[in-house]
Structure 1
Amino acid sequence: MADRAVTRTGKDEDGDITSLCNPNASWSPRKSGDAIYDIENNVHTYHVPWKSGRTEIRVVNGSTGKYLRTDRDNTNKNNLDDLPDC
Structure 2
Amino acid sequence: MDRRVTKTGKDSEGDITSLCGAWGSTSKATAIREIEASSTAYYVQDIYSRRADVHVVAGATGKYLRTDPNSSCSDNLDSLPAC
Q: How does 1:24-35 map to 2 (within 5 A)?
A: 24-25=22-23, 28-35=24-31
Q: Which runs of 4+ in 1 moved over 3 A?
A: none
Alpha-carbon shift at residue 75 of structure 1 (Å): 1.1
The corresponding residue for 1:59 is: 56
The answer to whether the aligner puts 1:6 opposite 2:5 as a matched pair is yes
The corresponding residue for 1:84 is: 81
Query: Counterpart of 2:74 in 1: which secondary structure?
Result: coil
CA offsets per residue over residues 36-57 of structure 1, 9 Å max, x none?
Answer: 0000011100000122310000
Sequence identity percentage: 49
Q: State the alpha-carbon separation in 1 of the partners of residues 76 and 64 from structure 2.
A: 13
Letter in 2 for 1:5: R
Runs of 5+ consecutive residues of structure 2 not aligned to the other structure: none
Query: Counterpart of 2:19 in 1: which secondary structure?
Result: strand
Q: TM-score, normalising length from structure 1?
A: 0.91
Q: TM-score, normalising length from structure 2?
A: 0.95
Q: State the alpha-carbon separation in 2 of the partners of residues 8 and 78 from structure 1.
A: 11
Compute the RMSD of aligned alpha carbons: 0.8
The answer to whether the aligner puts 1:37 opposite 2:37 as a matched pair is no
CA offsets per residue over residues 34-83 of structure 1, 9 Å max, x none?
Answer: 00000001110000012231000000000000000011111111110110
Q: State the alpha-carbon separation in 2 of the partners of residues 42 and 77 from structure 1.
A: 25
Query: Counterpart of 1:84 in 2: which secondary structure?
Result: coil
- Paired residues, number: 82
